[in-house]
Structure 1
Amino acid sequence: MGFKASYLNELERMLEKVLPHAMLKAKPKLESRIRTLKRDWTIVYDMDRANGKDAQTIADIVEEIDSED
């Protein structure tokens, strides 16, 4: 059993309800947006690695706050 032919249209309607200003359309635009977000995330991640710093976890932040007190 597979998807009905109109499942992308239904997906678009559901996404529009949940994310009204995201302007997400079915598969082609979703894939494009995912690639863009992945590229942007990779740039930020690589910058953190180049600095020798990793993204902080919640535990790191709490520990840092406790050490300041």
Structure 2
Amino acid sequence: MGYGPSWAVCPPPNAAPTAVLTATPTSGTAPLAVNFDGSGSYDPDAGDTISSYTFDFCDGSAAVTQSHRHHSAYL
């Protein structure tokens, strides 16, 4: 109701997490057991953490864990 400048402080927007995935080995004879690891993933916002990991291999199997060993014969 007064006259003069008015200030508003807005928090910065929430940044999306960054997914980082490693797979080893990356080649070999089928069926190949591959280790997938998402532990390098991170959320750049202060105080935020990754709460869950889901790997979907499009073959009817899925894993909800930070790292997973998967066996399959993809051609």
Both structures adopt the same fold (TM-score exceeding 0.5): no
Higher strand proportion: 2
TM-score by length of 1: 0.21
Higher relative contact order (CA 8 A, sep 6+): 2
- Decide which structure has the larger Cα Rg and report it: 2
TM-score by length of 2: 0.20
